[in-house]
Amino acid sequence: MTASPLVTIVASFFSAVIGTLLTIFLTPVLQHHLWRRQRRAEIKLAAIKEFNRLVTEFIAATTLNRDVVDHVAWFQQLNTVNGDIEVLFSSGSVRAVEAVNNMIVRGPGRVTLGGKTPDEFIAARDAALRTLYSEVIPFRR
Q: What are phi and psi of 4, to 5 degrees?
A: -70, 155
Per-residue pLDDT band for 83 (boundaries 50, 70, 90) equals very high
Q: Provide the pLDDT for residue 110.
A: 66
Per-domain boundaries in the chain: 42-136
CA-based max dimension of the chain: 92
Mean pLDDT of the chain: 86
**What residues pair up with 111 in beta bridges, in sequence order?**
106
Residues 6 or more apart in contact with residue 2 via CB below 8 angstroms: none
Global pTM reads 0.77
| % of the chain at pLDDT higher than 90 | 43
Strands, DSSP E only, in 20-140? 105-107, 110-112
Could you read off the pLDDT of 4-15 as tens digits, one per residue? 888 888 888 888
Of the pLDDT bands very low, low, confident and very high (cuts 50, 70, 90), residue 19 is confident
Q: How many helices (H) and strands (E) does the chain have?
A: 4, 2
Of 124, 132, 130, which is closest to residue 45 (Cα–Cα)? 132
